[in-house]
Amino acid sequence: MKSFLICAVILLSLGGSNSQAFSQSTYEPIPFGDMDNWVDRQIKESLLIGGATRQVYAVGPTQTVTGNKPYVNLGGSPWATSNVLAYVAGIYKTNVSVYPEKRDNGYCARLDTHLEKVKVLGIVNITVLAAGSLFLGDVHEPIQSTKNPQKMLNSGIPFTQRPVAVTFDYQVKLADSDHRIRATGFSKIREVEGRDYPEVTLFLQKRWEDADGNIYAKRVGTMVVRFTQSCDWQNHATFAILYGDITTRPEYTPENMQLQVVERYAVNSKGKSTPIQEIGWAAPDEVPTHLFLQFASSHGGAYIGSPGNSLCIDNVGFVY
């Protein structure tokens, strides 16, 4: 039971500013980046924790999937979310922090930071801070381990182009709080200094694998933006991708742009989830092999944020 509860906390946590105006001579959408199509996974949680049937959403071809089945990206969708299924010690548990939300004649993606409660037979009552995350890659479901939440994710997709910018529509709602909280479920909820901000991170990488299956990467391109104010919809917002070693540029912020900001994982040629070791900056004219793009409703990492933060995203693509 304890191992299940720890795992539930980890899956609930799964969950990088510069801008410039561009003349969009060429625009290329990311597949399913219009956020108009969603898979509705109907998953029944175990009776021990209430037995509710939850809608666990994924960005992909519109359909309903019934049953507690591990999810594999459908229809060529490159998107994954922090909405996941765990199965530990015979118990099913889900987390939902990314939702389709009606917008005009279609939908957008709404990413929320919230407090998730897990109750077991009225005896155990834990509260966890969960942030919404939408990223390019996939998740290894069902979640079965209590260790290293990043290892449960396959971060990034193959990509060999060199866009000058990323563009998307967004709306921000910041929580009315000057501090964040840290809620792990197994210790007292405590305050964390600083406001909570939604964040968008894009890394272009040139990756390679050695004979032992280790994955290495050099950073080709970087774009990180942190939204520090609430705002209504900003359409066609466009953010420059900076190429090569950017450590001397005025836009560079080590906190979220430095190499190896977070140890992320990818699946190697042997089928094993392996750390991506980001070991240096690539030449400015290097061609990438992979793209990592993530939208998150909170920037502080696992278990840290402000309930009420919300980031809505729509129409994601690239400018060339």
**Domain ranges (residues) in the chain:** 2-15+18-319
- pLDDT, position 121: 62
- pLDDT, position 124: 57
Cis upstream peptide for 142 (omega within 30°): yes
CA distances 36 to 193, 261, 268, Å, are 37, 31, 32
- pLDDT, position 147: 61
Helix (H) or strand (E) holding 125: strand 124-130
> What does each of the 320 residues of the chain score in pLDDT, given as a tens digit?
444 444 444 344 444 334 445 554 799 999 999 999 999 999 999 988 889 999 999 999 999 999 999 999 999 999 999 999 988 778 898 989 999 999 999 999 999 999 887 776 665 567 888 899 999 999 999 987 556 778 889 999 999 999 999 999 999 999 999 999 898 777 788 889 999 999 999 999 999 999 999 999 999 999 999 999 999 999 999 999 999 999 999 999 999 999 999 999 999 999 999 999 999 999 999 999 999 999 999 998 878 889 999 999 999 999 99
| Bridge partner residues of 314 (DSSP) | 169
Biggest CA-to-CA distance, the chain: 60
Check if the beta carbon of residue 186 is closer than 8 Å to that of residue 9. yes
The C-alpha atoms of residue 69 and residue 95 are separated, in whole angstroms, by 14
| Bridge partner residues of 157 (DSSP) | 291
Helix (H) or strand (E) holding 154: strand 153-155
Q: Quickly tell me which residue has 């696992």 as its tokens.
A: 302
Judged by DSSP in three states, 128 sits in: strand
The C-alpha atoms of residue 21 and residue 42 are separated, in whole angstroms, by 42
CATH 3.40.50 fits 2-15+18-319, yes or no: no
- pLDDT, position 267: 96
pTM: 0.90
Phi/psi of residue 291, nearest 5 degrees? -125, 130
Q: How far is CA 47 from the centre of its chain?
A: 29
Phi/psi of residue 138, nearest 5 degrees? -155, 170
- pLDDT, position 146: 52
Q: What would the two tokens of residue 306 be?
A: 């402000």
Burial 281-304 (b: 16+ CB within 10 A, else e): bbeeebebbbbbbbbbbbbbebbb
- pLDDT, position 90: 81
**Pick from 19, 320, 30: which is nearest to 162 by CA?**
320
- pLDDT, position 144: 79
Helix (H) or strand (E) holding 296: strand 290-296
Q: Quickly tell me which residue has 């996974």 as its tokens.
A: 41
Burial 168-206 (b: 16+ CB within 10 A, else e): bbbbbbbbeeeebbbbbbeeeeeeeeeebbbbbbbbbbb
